[in-house]
């Protein structure tokens, strides 16, 4: 039996955990920024992102709004690090490869009944709260229907397994949950473009629209888990509030009436 290959994000996470355990980063210390860590380890920023989230799941670090990631505890040397398996970026890379080709094949053989089912899945995505379990189920059903429509059981099994990984890998599930918390949900308009290409029986366009959709998912995840961006935005909003409060005299001891919130 071959030894399990350590994933790149795991190598980064384990190296930082070791540095924490050896005292390089004491409890309460702020970790270097994402860009600096990416350069230090010669990896991409998405890999650093997955490593940081893995460390959060382990309880070794925490994100502090407007400040960065701070060490909160030492690793337990007697306890093996939890196996977090696949991260969201690694998963989507595989989905681009497999689902793009599945979509191209589907365009050559898909029947009207399956197209009608895809329309119903789209309707469900629109009808339900985008962050609800029902909408997420409709999203999965949409993609697995396309794979099933190829008539190739291996293709449909691979795509089904990719979605199982998305739901059951702790790291992947955590990253998508964070993204949903930032308002990232299935894009119905992009799914509609995929259906349009399938209905036109255009393999190249079907592949292209699936690729564009999944690459947009990557962009959304990068934005939603971008600590530096979120922290900077929150910090800027806080500073604006402080400036407005200062100008309006809010918080003065002789000011009893608070301004009312207005819409727009």
Q: How far apart are CA 31 and CA 29, in angstroms?
A: 6
Which pLDDT does position 215 carry in this prediction? 92
**Among residues 209, 214, 108, which one has the least CA distance to residue 151?**
108
Separation between Cα atoms, residue 82 and residue 38, nearest integer Å:
23
Q: Domains of the chain, with CATH numbers?
A: 8-71 (1.10.10.10), 88-224 (1.20.120.530)
- As a whole number of angstroms, the distance between CA 135 and CA 5 comes to 35
pLDDT in the model for residue 1: 46
Please answer whether residues 16 and 55 qualify as being in contact, where contact means their C-beta atoms are separated by less than 8 angstroms: yes
Model pLDDT for residues 47-88, shown as the tens digit of each residue = 898 888 888 888 899 887 767 889 999 887 655 555 567 888
Both tokens assigned to 252: 């003065």
Q: Which positions of the chain have pLDDT values less than 70? A: 1-5, 66, 77-84, 226-264
CA gap 173, 91 in Å, rounded: 11
The pLDDT value given to residue 213? 95
Contact assessment for residue 170 and residue 82, using Cβ atoms and an 8 Å cutoff:
yes
Mean pLDDT for the chain? Answer: 82
According to the model, what pLDDT value does residue 79 have? 55
Q: Which residues pair with 69 in a beta bridge?
A: 63
Q: Are 61 and 48 in contact (CB under 8 A)?
A: no
The whole-number pLDDT of residue 260 equals 39
Q: What is the pLDDT of residue 245?
A: 57
- The whole-number pLDDT of residue 83 equals 58
């Amino acid at each position: 039996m071959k030894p399990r290959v350590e994933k790149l994000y795991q190598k980064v996470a384990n190296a930082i955990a070791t540095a924490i355990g050896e005292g390089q980063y004491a409890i309460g210390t702020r970790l270097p920024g994402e860009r600096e860590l990416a350069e230090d380890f010669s990896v991409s920023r998405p890999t650093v992102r997955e490593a940081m989230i893995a460390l959060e799941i382990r309880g070794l670090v925490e994100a502090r709004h407007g400040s960065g990631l701070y060490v909160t505890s030492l690793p337990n040397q007697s306890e093996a690090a939890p196996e977090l398996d696949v991260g969201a970026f690694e998963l989507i890379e595989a989905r681009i490869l497999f689902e793009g080709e599945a979509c191209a094949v589907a365009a050559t053989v898909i029947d009207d009944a399956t197209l009608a089912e895809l329309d119903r899945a789209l309707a469900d995505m629109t009808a339900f709260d985008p962050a609800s379990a029902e909408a997420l189920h409709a999203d999965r059903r949409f993609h697995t229907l396309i794979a099933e429509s190829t008539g190739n059981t291996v293709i449909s099994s691979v795509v089904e397994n990719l979605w199982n990984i998305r739901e059951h890998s702790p790291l992947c599930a955590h990253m998508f949950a964070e993204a949903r918390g930032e308002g990232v949900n299935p894009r119905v308009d992009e799914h509609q473009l995929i259906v349009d290409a399938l209905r036109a029986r255009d393999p190249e366009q079907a592949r292209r629209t699936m690729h564009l959709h999944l690459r947009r998912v990557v962009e959304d995840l990068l934005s939603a888990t971008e600590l530096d961006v979120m922290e900077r935005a929150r910090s800027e909003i806080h500073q604006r509030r402080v400036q407005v409060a200062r100008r309006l005299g809010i918080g003065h001891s002789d000011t009893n009436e608070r301004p009312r919130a207005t819409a727009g």
